[in-house]
Chain A
């Protein structure tokens, strides 16, 4: 069975500082990896996804993530955050083959950007 661990439940940072949100996954097969963002009182929307190919994936709003197969990680980064990036971020994994169609989410990381 697949699973996702987000190592930090909360990450406070100052505006214009860099940030890294950590995500580790486990799966017995190849995976697709996703980062979603949830702004207050809203549903989730996709930031970026890794399907195959280049391990560095760029998403919306200046975010990027790097897939590391040996470390089973998919950490999310942004070089300079804004107040508007304050939100909850979810890492998710989906098996890329077989009959497992589930998209499994981590517990989320609350990013708070302070002025």
Chain B
């Protein structure tokens, strides 16, 4: 199993550009989440999904969109990048609320 994979590993954007962060898992997990990690802020939940076709907002959803057309994939879209979105983004998945959450390696995003 590859586990949770994320692409790209690094990305530099200009303000106003859009992009999609890819996330895939091969563990047949229903629950998937996107977090951003900023110094001193811990991990903050952006969006999450409890199955294909079902998504919901987390703590900091503004400026981000998600979709879940398959169990395996959960892309995160930045609609119009802003410097405040400079962060490290982690995708994660788990089988259920009591189960271990597995994290991807992260995407480092710099918005100029």
Question: Chain A: residues with CB nearer than 8 A to chain B?
Answer: 6, 9, 32, 34, 36, 42-46, 49, 51, 90, 92, 94-96, 101-108
Contact = CB atoms under 8 A, between A and B. Distances in A.
A43 B35 CA distance: 11
Interface of B: 31, 33, 35, 40-45, 48, 50, 58, 90, 92, 94, 97-98, 100-101, 103-106
B54 to A, nearest CB: 10
Given A102-B45, A107-B41, 18 more contacts: A9-B40, A32-B97, A34-B101, A43-B104, A44-B90, A44-B92, A44-B103, A46-B100, A49-B100, A92-B101, A96-B98, A101-B50, A101-B97, A103-B92, A104-B45, A105-B43, A105-B44, A108-B42
Majority secondary structure, B binding face: strand
B41 A43 contact: no
Contact of B98 (A6, A32, A107): A32
Given A43-B90, A44-B90, A90-B43, A103 B103 contact: no
A94 B103 contact: no
Given A43-B90, A44-B103, A102-B45, A94 B98 contact: yes
28 contacts: A9-B40, A32-B97, A32-B98, A43-B90, A43-B104, A44-B43, A46-B100, A49-B98, A49-B100, A51-B98, A90-B42, A92-B101, A94-B97, A95-B97, A96-B98, A101-B48, A101-B97, A102-B33, A102-B45, A103-B97, A103-B101, A104-B45, A105-B43, A105-B44, A105-B45, A107-B40, A108-B42, A108-B43
